[in-house]
A and B are shown apart, each in its own frame.
Chain A
Amino acid sequence: MTGQEEGRQAVVELMARFTAVVGKQLPDDVLDKLKALREQEEQQLSRVVYDSMFENLEKALELDRPACQDTGVINYFVKAGTNFPLLAQMENILVEAVRLATVEAPLRHNAVQIFDEINTGDNTGERAPFVHWEIVDDGDQVELEVYMAGGGCSLPGRAITFMPSAGYESVVSYVFDTIVDWGINACPPLLVGVGIAGSVENAALLSKKAILRPIGSSHPNPKGAEMEQRLEKGLNELGLGPQGLAGNSSVLGVHVESAARHPSTISVAINIGCWAHRRGTIRINSDLSYEIISHREVT
């Protein structure tokens, strides 16, 4: 085997292992926030649910199994330096990693081919795993976000385009309507991602990127950050509680991402992360050494 082939195989195995980890352990920020919400909870039924959640996380670690059976459609968000040595092979590496993780983790079979309606049985298929690219000029590292898009939290996802006369007020109503109508089924407390842009596909991508941001981070524009805080406070006042059974909170957070809009349109999209928000960040250097950013206990 040549050096490059060995390197390629090492990254396949690394990404398979990391993808499996993401299914079994929550990232630090999500775990910390859940602990805080659990402590604040006063309703009896909701405390029972929090107890089950934490017992489940312990058992997932102890038995080395996916914490939630729905390990989702695997999404990778890749920020790649143009000088990363395996750049051209990265997409194939990720497909192989998913195939391997499906057996090793194991992951649920979650790729159903459109029209033929056949479950491929290995989580790969047409554009599966879904890979999003961002190229960084002159860099020699890749930073990868692994995200497991489960069915329950993908179900409330939606997008719409408003006229400017409807204002940002329409964004607020749209968020609340979506959360009350569908959020209660999506395993609250939820991480709510909102994308605002000039067309729906731009807004949709941003709404997913919003839930990849660490909990506690803010929109760079102070007005955006303020809107995030107001939405978070307002949604918490709904008191959905864990699993929608009523409680002291509703959300892990609200993140807004934005892109300049067309003068004639305000498009808004919403993406939801469930309490078991399975997201992980790993950085791979040009010598193929790596650093796991999202999970402090994992090496």
Chain B
Amino acid sequence: MKKNLKTPLNNADLAEIRIGDLLYLDGHMITCRDIAHRRLIERGMELPVNLQGLAIFHAGPIVKQDGAGYEMISIGPTTSMRMEKYEQEFIERTGVKLVIGKGGMGAKTAQACREHKALHCVFPGGCAVLAATQVEEIEGVQWAELGMPESLWICRVKGFGPLIVSIDTEGNNLFADNKALYNDRKERSVAEISKHVGFIK
């Protein structure tokens, strides 16, 4: 299924969406990665942006200063799994509805998505110019002292995607399902190859 979404998002907007669906987002998306998560959860600092109903992007962009404002040059997803340690509590505390990144996330994030009706989605990794052209404007930046990749860049996006749903509001987890499949196949491949590498006689 293909669907367009617009922030602010509520539970009803996301209820029918399932893993493997394709989404395109209009509205507000804020970059939040390692240190933003660590500051909120471990250091007890309040986030300087209200994320209720909005989207976060696990991403550290290349941004160019453009007069008084900023120009988005290149912004692709980073490995979401690095945020697994914090994401459950992050979703609970912020009310964020869409967590966008790359690769899968774990059982705790899936549980938070089920309990708080949020989604994790994948933007194709490495497709950073494509993503940058879907950012209409950088409306602001917070925690700029963290440097370019770790700052919170507040972006207004249009047709942002493709976003592939990897965890849905029922807690289904596309990557966890895939990984079980890959692990089964792995056993077979390793056994087969091992027959041919007995070089130590």
Contact = CB atoms under 8 A, between A and B. Distances in A.
Q: How large, as a class, is the contact surface on chain A?
A: 35 or more
A187 B190 contact: no
A40 interface: no
B194 A56 contact: no
Interface string A52-95: 11011001100101111111000000000000000000000000
Given A65-B74, A68-B74, A243 B124 contact: yes
B80 to A, nearest CB: 8
Contact of A243 (B122, B147, B179, B198): B122
Contacts, number: 188
A119 interface: yes
B130 interface: yes
B189 A238 contact: yes
Interface of A: 45, 48-49, 52-53, 55-56, 59-60, 63, 65-71, 106-110, 112, 119, 121, 151-152, 155, 164, 167-169, 171-173, 176-177, 180, 184-187, 223, 226-227, 230-231, 234-235, 237-240, 242-246, 274-276
Q: How large, as a class, is the contact surface on chain B?
A: 35 or more
Contacts of B62: 65-66, 69, 71, 106-108
B164 interface: yes
A155 B79 contact: yes
Contact of B124 (A65, A109, A242): A242
Contacts of A70: 60, 76, 78, 128
A246 B61 CA distance: 27
Nearest to B34: A151
Contacts of A186: 79, 103
Interface string B77-96: 01111100000000000000
B189 A237 contact: yes
